[in-house]
Amino acid sequence: MVRTMSGRPSEHRIAILERGEGRVQASCSCGWRSAIFGADKRLGVMDALQQAADAADLHEWDVSLP
């Protein structure tokens, strides 16, 4: 899944990457990477996906600030 910031052109392209065994990480074309989520097996896979998506959203918001 690749998302770009909506509303304006941007060089930031964010992807949610699978890191194996239910672990995921958000990564941006600018070099930013989130923590790896899902290493804690007590939580479900959807929780890890949501955490990575939330981290990606926060990065998009952060880079959109002047």
pLDDT digits (tens, 9 = 90+) for 2-32: 444 454 455 788 999 999 888 899 999 989 9
Closest CA to 16 of 31, 30, 5, 3: 3
Return the residue matching tokens 């941006």.
28
Q: Indicate whether 65 belongs to any domain.
A: no
Q: Indicate whether 3 belongs to any domain.
A: no
DSSP state of 36: P
Q: Indicate whether 64 belongs to any domain.
A: no
Q: Indicate whether 33 belongs to any domain.
A: yes
Residue 58 has what pLDDT? 92
Q: Indicate whether 34 belongs to any domain.
A: yes
Q: Indicate whether 28 belongs to any domain.
A: yes
What's the number of domains the chain is made of? 1
% of the chain with per-residue pLDDT over 90: 36
Residue 4 has what pLDDT? 47
Q: Indicate whether 42 belongs to any domain.
A: yes
Print the domain residue range for 29: 8-57
